[in-house]
Amino acid sequence: MISEAVVGALQGFVPQENIRLMEPMAGHTTFRIGGPADCFLQLENEEQLKKVRRYLGLAGVPFFVLGNGSNLLVNDSGYPGVILQIGQKMSGIAVEGTRIAAKAGTSLVQAARAALTYGLTGLEFASGIPGTVGGGVVMNAGAYGGEMSQVVEQVRVVNREGEVMELDNDTMEFGYRTSAIKGGGFTVTEVTFLLEPGDRNEIKARMEDLADRRRSKQPLEYPSAGSTFKRPEGNFAGKLIMEAGLGGFQIGGARVSDKHCGFIVNAENATAQDVKSVIDAVRIRVKEKFHVELEPEIIFLGW
């Protein structure tokens, strides 16, 4: 449990109405699953983040930075630390020429729509990704042949000491579903995208085509965290899972989607343990049948 002294200190950095104790995380993840976080902070600006990060580091209090919770499975027992939410209260977009500066809490959908409005191409792939700009940069989010590494020019971050840094594309060390932010102790506050002029009608048509493809191929009617596993080299996780005969495989309320076997969905009030059990069973079966080690793409918090 977070001590009263820690909560009192945090109240000196963040408005009291933005601090919640024992906050159920099911309301903050796209899986709609998760026990309570000891302390949940909604941050409003970079200055608050700097002060809170510096304090938590000095006090040795564990914390996790949350965006839209679209790639996250929180334990049923919750998280014994502080959740720092960078969401709507830290969102906003500014456009200058072919550059879009988006605060970290801005949704990727909003960023893609802004690009459309200003006739800028390059972000169409992000128009259906249910995450934030900050979270998307951390994991180098991508879809349908596009990814963040292709359009990010600069990333503004706060480091472990509460200091602001600017990282360019090369410094970000983008890789498949990873970046220098992962494990680097950085928290993203703003991202600058460098795009290209395009035809609005063509950009809109591309976004609508991708939306149609998502609706037809992905189980959007169920809560999930998107693709559960990273793409194994030379193959596709969903294809291997399907060929292993696991389409529709279910434990408790968690199920391998029949529509897209790369998705594990919350079909019937699943618990986090249900999802974890399905993930474990899928990994074992695929390894036994194809000698391929599937690596989860989602983050396990509180396990």
Q: Which two tokens stand for residue 112?
A: 């893609």
Average of pLDDT values for 147-161?
96
The pLDDT of residue 1 is: 80
**How far is residue 187's CA from residue 160's CA, in Å, rounded to a whole number?**
8
Look-up: residue for tokens 């690596």?
295
3-state secondary structure of 18: helix
Q: Which of 206, 227, 255, 283 is flagged as catalytic?
A: 227
Position 64: which residue type? F
What is the 8-class DSSP label of residue 281?
H
**How far is residue 108's CA from residue 7's CA, in Å, rounded to a whole number?**
32
Is residue 96 annotated as part of the catalytic site, yes or no? Answer: no
Average of pLDDT values for 40-56?
97
Q: pLDDT tens digits, residue range 281-292?
A: 999 999 999 999
Q: Are strands 72-74 and 299-301 parallel, antiparallel or unpaired?
A: parallel
Average of pLDDT values for 159-174?
95
Q: pLDDT tens digits, residue range 169-226?
A: 999 999 999 999 988 899 999 999 999 999 999 999 999 999 999 999 999 999 999 9
What is the 8-class DSSP label of residue 139?
T
The pLDDT of residue 53 is: 95
The pLDDT of residue 57 is: 93
Listed in sequence order, the residues at least 6 apart from 285 whose beta carbon sits closer than 8 Å to its beta carbon are 244, 246
Q: Which of 177, 206, 255, 283 is flagged as catalytic?
A: 177
Is residue 297 annotated as part of the catalytic site, yes or no? Answer: yes
What percent of the chain has a predicted confidence (pLDDT) above 70? 100
* Half-sphere exposure for 85 (CA within 13 Å, toward CB): 19
The pLDDT of residue 103 is: 98
In degrees rounded to 5, what are phi and psi of residue 49?
Answer: -60, -45
Q: How many helices (H) and strands (E) does the chain have?
A: 7, 19
> Backbone dihedral region of 293: left (phi > 0), alpha (psi from -120 to 50 degrees) or beta?
beta
In degrees rounded to 5, what are phi and psi of residue 80?
Answer: -85, 65
**How far is residue 172's CA from residue 104's CA, in Å, rounded to a whole number?**
15
Question: Is pLDDT above 90 for 236?
Answer: yes
Average of pLDDT values for 18-46?
98
Chain mean pLDDT for the chain: 96
Is residue 221 annotated as part of the catalytic site, yes or no? Answer: no
The pLDDT of residue 184 is: 85
**How far is residue 254's CA from residue 271's CA, in Å, rounded to a whole number?**
8
**How far is residue 54's CA from residue 302's CA, in Å, rounded to a whole number?**
22
Q: pLDDT tens digits, residue range 71-117?
A: 999 999 999 999 999 999 999 999 999 999 999 999 999 999 999 99
**How far is residue 189's CA from residue 185's CA, in Å, rounded to a whole number?**
13
**Burial of residue 78 (number of CB atoms within 10 Å: 0-12, 13-18, 19+):** buried
Among 123, 85, 124, residue whose Cα is nearest residue 105: 85
